[in-house]
Structures are given as structure tokens and as C-alpha cells.
């Protein structure tokens, strides 16, 4: 099956002129290039299909390459392919053919309709009119997902080779969270898989920047970090991963998906965070044990 992105890039790496720090910024859910074939397959209108986008997150961190760190960003939309999942995390009810045991068909994410190929967008709206073929899944996963992660791994390996450490900053947005009792909902959720994927100072610095601007910051609840965070974050080997979720209401209208008056301020705040992280003393991130050659080549 021919790729839906045969005539244009599905994602891109924006590199700095000079690598100034071991940081890699990743925006995997902000893609908004919807293939025509995909739109013909969906039962949703053009606005509804975009409800699962981390809209404009790539723009919020767009200054990273100018400040000395690469940015990997998706052009394909999350509703089409979610690279923050395992590669073959698929819902068997979505496909014409039966799925063998080599596929992960029983994860909580699949049960929620949010596997590698999602069944639903926000508010549990089904995406597809008809069931898909496995050829379609292979086209997306082998043709886009796997090259995307190979690129991300290469960027982290380059950072490690240059600095002896590497830091993935996985950038996302979240719907405005409901208030819980007397507690106000957080504006920012930082995830490190409960202290396992990055050095504490990275969480502390991110919280300091956001809280210092008057925002409410939570750690690991309700988002502790997805596939990318837990896969790449190995601080014991000098590879750190931090997930950042920014509440969409701060910078956009969640219904119309248009930027609001807060966009410029949030962009400026994320740029401040980028600058703080780039200025970090690398000695505090040094691995307890050096990365093996095998890991570096993975």
C-alpha cells in the first residue's frame, strides 16, 4: 500500500546551527496534515477529527533550535497515528483480519480506543466508517512510526555522543482538567514516571519556571509519562526523559482550536524553560554508569 505521505514529509527534524546542549524536544501530537484518503475514511467533520491534537505545541517550543537544541515534530495527526504508543498496540475490533498474538490487543490504551491507530477521538467519538486492513496499519507503522522513533533515537544518541548525557523533553497539551473537590485543576502536569525517567533537578527546574509564572503545577497525576518517556528515560545511563503537559485553555480555544490571547505569554514561558534547561550544569545529569555501546546503538 502506498504511503499517505508519499509526496510530502510525515515529520521533520529542525536542527540548530550549533548544538548547544544535550536536549531533544519532541512534539509528536501536534501534527495537522490530514491525508485526503484518511478524511474519506472518517465519519467525523474536519473540526471533530482534530479534537485529539496537541494543537500548536510545536509552535510553543519552536524556538528550541534557535537556542541550540533540535526539535522533532510530527506533521501526521495523532488521530491518524500515535507514536506515543507501543508500535503494534492495536484494537482487534478495528480490523477486517484477525490479529495474532504478536499484537498488543489488551492494553488499557487499546481498551480506551487510543492505541497506535486510535479508534476514537476526544469524548469517545468513533473515527472510522468501516474497519481497516492490516496493510493500512503496516503502512503507517512501518512507514512512519518506525522511522519517527529511529530519528528520535538518533537525535538522543547524537546528544549523548556530544555531551555524555541526553535529555528528551516530550511536549504535549491536555484538555482543561476538571476541578477535584476544593482543589483547583493543574495548568501544567510534569511526568517522570514517578521519579524513574529523569534526574529530580529537571522536574524541579520545570516546576520552578511554570510555578514562578503563577501556574498550578502537578507531578505525575493524571499524566505520568507515556511510551516515549518510559522507553527513552534511563537516567542511570545518562539518558533522561521529561514529559510536559500544558493545559490548552491557557493558549487556545478548545472548541474552535484557535489561539487565544494567552498564546504569546505561554510561548514566552516555554522559551524561558528552554533557556533554563540549556543553561543547566551537565554535571548534575552525569550517569551513575556510562551507557553501553549496545544501548548507544539501539
Assign residue 273 the CATH number of its domain: 3.40.630.40
Q: Is residue 49 part of a domain?
A: yes
Please determine, for residue 180, whether its predicted confidence score (pLDDT) is greater than 90. no
Among 216, 241, 264, 261, residue whose Cα is nearest residue 63: 264
Q: Is residue 131 part of a domain?
A: no
How many domains does the structure of the chain reveal? 1
Cis amide bond preceding 88, omega within 30: no
Rounded average pLDDT over 277-292: 81
Q: Is the dihedral of CA 213, 268, 192, 53 positive or negative?
A: positive
Q: Is residue 289 part of a domain?
A: yes
Q: Is residue 101 part of a domain?
A: no
Please determine, for residue 19, whether its predicted confidence score (pLDDT) is greater than 50. yes
Contact 20, 63 (CB under 8 A): no
Domain that holds residue 20: 11-84+137-297
Q: Is the dihedral of CA 153, 159, 160, 166 positive or negative?
A: negative
Q: Is residue 111 part of a domain?
A: no
- Which pLDDT score, from 0 to 100, does residue 295 have? 45
Please determine, for residue 269, whether its predicted confidence score (pLDDT) is greater than 70. yes
- Label residue 292 by pLDDT band (50, 70, 90): low
Q: Is residue 248 part of a domain?
A: yes
Q: Is residue 279 part of a domain?
A: yes
Whole-number Å distance between alpha carbons of 211 and 217: 6
How does the average pLDDT of the chain come out, rounded?
95
Rounded average pLDDT over 66-73: 98
Q: pTM of this prediction?
A: 0.95
Whole-number Å distance between alpha carbons of 167 and 237: 11
Please determine, for residue 293, whether its predicted confidence score (pLDDT) is greater than 50. no
The grid coordinates listed for 41 are 475514511
Q: Is residue 46 part of a domain?
A: yes
Amino acid at each position: 500500500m502506498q504511503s499517505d505521505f508519499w509526496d510530502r514529509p510525515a515529520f521533520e527534524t529542525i536542527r540548530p546551527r550549533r548544538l548547544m546542549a544535550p536536549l531533544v524536544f519532541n512534539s509528536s501530537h501536534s501534527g495537522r496534515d490530514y491525508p485526503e484518503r484518511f478524511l474519506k475514511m472518517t465519519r467525523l467533520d474536519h473540526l471533530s477529527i482534530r479534537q485529539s491534537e496537541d494543537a500548536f505545541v510545536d509552535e510553543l517550543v519552536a524556538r528550541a533550535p534557535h537556542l541550540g537544541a533540535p526539535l522533532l515534530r510530527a506533521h501526521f495527526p495523532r488521530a491518524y497515528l500515535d507514536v506515543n504508543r507501543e508500535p503494534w498496540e492495536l484494537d482487534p475490533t478495528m480490523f477486517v483480519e484477525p490479529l495474532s498474538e504478536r499484537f498488543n490487543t489488551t492494553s488499557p490504551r487499546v481498551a480506551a480506543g487510543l492505541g497506535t491507530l486510535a479508534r476514537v477521538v476526544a469524548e469517545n467519538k468513533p473515527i472510522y466508517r468501516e474497519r481497516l486492513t492490516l496493510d493500512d496499519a503496516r503502512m503507517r507503522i512501518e512507514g512512519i512510526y518506525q522511522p519517527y522513533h529511529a530519528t528520535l533515537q538518533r537525535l538522543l544518541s547524537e546528544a549523548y555522543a556530544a555531551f555524555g548525557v541526553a535529555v528528551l523533553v516530550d511536549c504535549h497539551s491536555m484538555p482543561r482538567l476538571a476541578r477535584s473537590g476544593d482543589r483547583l485543576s493543574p495548568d501544567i502536569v510534569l511526568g517522570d514516571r514517578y521519579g524513574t525517567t529523569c534526574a529530580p533537578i529537571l522536574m524541579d527546574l520545570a516546576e520552578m519556571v511554570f510555578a514562578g509564572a503563577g501556574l498550578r503545577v502537578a507531578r505525575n497525576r493524571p499524566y505520568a509519562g507515556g511510551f516515549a518517556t518510559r522507553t527513552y528515560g534511563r537516567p542511570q545511563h545518562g539518558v533522561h526523559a521529561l514529559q510536559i503537559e500544558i493545559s490548552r485553555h491557557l493558549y487556545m480555544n478548545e472548541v474552535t482550536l484557535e489561539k487565544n490571547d494567552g498564546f504569546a505569554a505561554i510561548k514566552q514561558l516555554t522559551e524561558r524553560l528552554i533557556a533554563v534547561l540549556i543553561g543547566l550544569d551537565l554535571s548534575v545529569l552525569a550517569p551513575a554508569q556510562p551507557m553501553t555501546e549496545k544501548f548507544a546503538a539501539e
